[in-house]
Structure 1
């Protein structure tokens, strides 16, 4: 990648970008589906359902390939999933290779950093803390922090405001078309990780400013030193 960036802040998606959380999500899904008397899902199916927040994940778990379900069944599934994910969050999730190496390098450059995710906010800080990532983050914007969630641009704009950085001085790093669309709508450049979750769509087909195979590839692309 030849393009360089000069951000004052870098905002990261969480699932599929900083951390591989499918094992914990899949375990919560198995417990939820068993509790509701539904057939199980594979880890690969769960991975393809991730990206638009827990309510959408639960809806997909219950309906994709199985037909519609009534609203009260969705509500029952959501309550069950949240209960089980509270127990499984952080048990098997790991930071991707390169993340723990790259974040100190970005911090040393004086960059503000934050997580902008569609995961419910209550699950984000505990997970980051368990993985040793929380101390690097100046702001967390979850899927229920605001009335809007990605791909609406407001979560990114809110993150900029919280860290005191102009919108044009921020960079988004994600793993999906949802992240790319959010950044485009917000007017931010966006880089996508090649290893994450993109709902079964090849990430190199998305409208972004570049692809990264490891987060350690990011610091050399930044010129604000």
Structure 2
């Protein structure tokens, strides 16, 4: 059990929604526009989690460009990626089992919820709305909402400020080392889901207070 929780912050990609299909389509269409080699889904899974710009840069380097060459085409790649992602956002993704029920149970406890993701805010808001999850959240913050992104603790600290709760009383729920490191640095307890994306590494190796197989387990965890 985790005692004293007054609010919950929840990650999006890999925690609430399996968005690998959206990333696959948008990223490979972008690479095709640039006449660059495509990227397999298994490689994309290892690249996601640190924001869209990192994903695009990683894909370009995976296709044979060195860091300098990748940065040189990054602005054009970013523009094409935004257009493609906007067109497919939510079409090739699915809400993980137990997510809606888990969020409902947390809300029934009177806990304010915030979604905090490294995905650009506009894409995050649109995805939550399309999947019917937006109704659960008092606040939604994306990778462009603050000066830095997870694993930096700043987004968590600012989200706690918006929720009006101390970090020690605010549970972070995520799927990756980014979430774990940000939570630890901010002083938030953290529960990590055993599915999702963690750069190809076992999630149990990331610092955590609890591992859960579904968001429905959170209700009992906080009892």
SS in 1 for 2:150: coil
**Deviations, residues 121-150 of structure 1 (Å, cap 9, x unaligned):** 110111001111001001111111011111
SS in 2 for 1:165: coil
Aligned equivalent of 1:109 = 109
Under a length normalisation based on structure 2, what TM-score does the superposition of the two structures give? 0.96
Aligned equivalent of 1:55 = 53
CA-CA distance at 1:83 after TM superposition: 1.1
Give the Cα–Cα distance (whole angstroms) in 1 for the partners of residues 3 and 215 of structure 2.
15
For 1:121-200, what aligned pairs fall within 5 Å after superposition? 121-200=121-200
Give the Cα–Cα distance (whole angstroms) in 1 for the partners of residues 130 and 203 of structure 2.
28
CA-CA distance at 1:50 after TM superposition: 0.3
CA-CA distance at 1:75 after TM superposition: 1.5
Give the Cα–Cα distance (whole angstroms) in 1 for the partners of residues 2 and 145 of structure 2.
31
2:171 pairs with 1:207 = no
**Deviations, residues 15-74 of structure 1 (Å, cap 9, x unaligned):** 000110010111001110111111111111111110100000000111026241242312
User: Which deviates more, 54-63 or 159-168?
Assistant: 159-168
CA-CA distance at 1:151 after TM superposition: 1.0
Under a length normalisation based on structure 1, what TM-score does the superposition of the two structures give? 0.95
SS in 2 for 1:201: coil
* Contact 2:9-2:173 within 8 A present in 1 as well: yes
* Contact 2:39-2:63 within 8 A present in 1 as well: no
What runs of 5+ residues in structure 2 fail to find an aligned partner? none
Give the Cα–Cα distance (whole angstroms) in 1 for the partners of residues 70 and 180 of structure 2.
32
SS in 2 for 1:37: coil
Aligned equivalent of 2:29 = 31
Number of residues paired by the alignment? Answer: 221
4+ runs deviating over 4 angstroms = none
Give the Cα–Cα distance (whole angstroms) in 1 for the partners of residues 116 and 156 of structure 2.
7
What is the RMSD of the two structures over their aligned residues, measured on CA atoms? Answer: 1.1
